[in-house]
Amino acid sequence: MAYYFTSESVSEGHPDKIADQISDALIDNFLAFDSESKVACETLVTTGQVILAGEVKSKTYLDVQQIAREVIKKIGYTKSEYMFDANSCGILSAIHEQSPDINQGVDRADKENQGAGDQGMMFGYATRETEDYMPLALDLAHKLLIELAEIRKDGSEIAYLRPDAKSQVTLEYSDENVPTRIVTIVLSTQHDDFIKPSEKGFESQNLANKEMQSIIEDDIKSILIPRLLKKYPQYTHLFEKGEIEYLINPTGVFVIGGPHGDTGLTGRKIIVDTYGGKGAHGGGAFSGKDPSKVDRSAAYATRHIAKNLVAAGVADEVLVQVSYAIGVAKPTGVYVNTYGTSKVNLSDGVIAQKVSELFDLRPYFIERNLKLRNPIYSETAAYGHMGRIPQTVTKVFTSPNGEEKTMEVELFTWEKLDRVEDVRKAFSL
């Protein structure tokens, strides 16, 4: 019997994502001037206020307030009516030195024996559902909001959009676990109060609100969706099968949003950041953590493994788990689940053993092989850490004393299909 599956995404202007982006901007700036920095930085945003807290071990000094303001400005919170403005919000820093008790478990004279920054388990997942080996519902949810953000920043087609937004996509799957159609699209976008009531009173205000909602719904259907399909024609068939239920701003007006409407915290969107509820999640957030924290680096490493396994033809769907003890380099366990889609005549346990032999999952080697001690994290902090396009970019950082550093870095290295031939050889494919 067919079944439904749903995933959601949030925009870069969502309060939790503002917090993630500030935390990761701090990571990038620390790593740019001291690649050995150890950082665990949390951010809280609320009406007119940003609070930074966490632990840092670094040789560099940063103007953390200025970095936070630049992130907020780039997202689009630049107007006082938002009640959260890059130029005027208060920023309080409570960042202090990292505990030596934690650091002693990580740093080693022999870098190859660098211990894990914490205990825990991390998961990587990949599926053939999309070209980027990501679950389809999440892929669509992300792409809807990326396109909406482009429309907002351009301003020529829709002028009333504000930064905060959420999306949700429900798909119907066949008995063979193949997505066949889109059932529901939910999209809530913050907007200006662009239609005023003709007179005072609840009834007049209600009419104005309904008119705004109607215009927003029409614009989403007539502007956003066609732009999405023009950019991603491979999804056209999903929009043509059956009638899609659109729920646009289902509560009505959405003028009050961002940190004024809801407090934001680093690390509260871990499912949006990964696989939209598919596969599994170990529970650890990514943003604000340097790569010695295996919550982050090992999640990237297992995604890299899963994607290369699927691309090599080992299985159509793969989940990889790795676990660690704090201060210990060697993983305590590696697990693989192919969900019955394996194309090789081996048990999942044997596949896991081969994975352990092919991929060095000690923290130092993850950092080295995926080039994680570079300032590459700001780009991960909105619209998902997985399923992104690997690319080389040039980034410029400026220290408080005016020192400018230009760096060429590789983004999303864990998305590279650079081990496919190694996997095929190991599995005789």
Q: What share of the chain is helix, strand, coil (3-state, %, to 5)?
A: 35, 25, 40
Q: Is 116 annotated as a binding residue?
A: no
**Residue 422, H or E segment:** helix 420-426
**Residue 392, H or E segment:** strand 391-398
Q: Is 262 annotated as a binding residue?
A: yes
Q: Is 269 annotated as a binding residue?
A: yes
d(C-alpha 421, C-alpha 241), whole Å: 38
Which strands make up the sheet holding 3-10, listed edge to edge?
3-10, 161-173, 179-191, 245-248
Q: Is 192 annotated as a binding residue?
A: no
Q: Is 281 annotated as a binding residue?
A: no
Place of tokens 């990038």: 28
Contact 143, 154 (CB under 8 A): no
Contact 138, 9 (CB under 8 A): yes
- The 10 Å Cβ neighbour count of residue 228 is 19
Q: Is 193 annotated as a binding residue?
A: no
d(C-alpha 27, C-alpha 370), whole Å: 17
Q: Is 154 annotated as a binding residue?
A: no
Q: Is 16 annotated as a binding residue?
A: yes
Rg (C-alpha) for the chain, rounded Å, is 23
Place of tokens 């301003």: 155
Q: Is 55 annotated as a binding residue?
A: yes
Q: Is 196 annotated as a binding residue?
A: no
Burial of 77 (0-12, 13-18, 19+ CB in 10 A): buried
Contact 73, 113 (CB under 8 A): no
Q: Is 2 annotated as a binding residue?
A: no
Residue 401: partners with Cβ closer than 8 Å, 6 or more residues away: none
Q: Is 96 annotated as a binding residue?
A: no
Q: Is 298 annotated as a binding residue?
A: no
Q: Is 299 annotated as a binding residue?
A: no
Contact 386, 367 (CB under 8 A): no
Residue 159 φ/ψ, nearest 5 degrees: -100, -10
Query: Which residues make up each annotated binding site for L-methionine?
Result: 55, 98, 262, 293
Query: Which residues make up each annotated binding site for K(+)?
Result: 42
Query: Which residues make up each annotated binding site for Mg(2+)?
Result: 16
Query: Which residues make up each annotated binding site?
Result: 14, 16, 42, 55, 98, 164-166, 262, 268-269, 285, 289, 293
Query: Which residues make up each annotated binding site for ATP?
Result: 14, 164-166, 262, 268-269, 285, 289
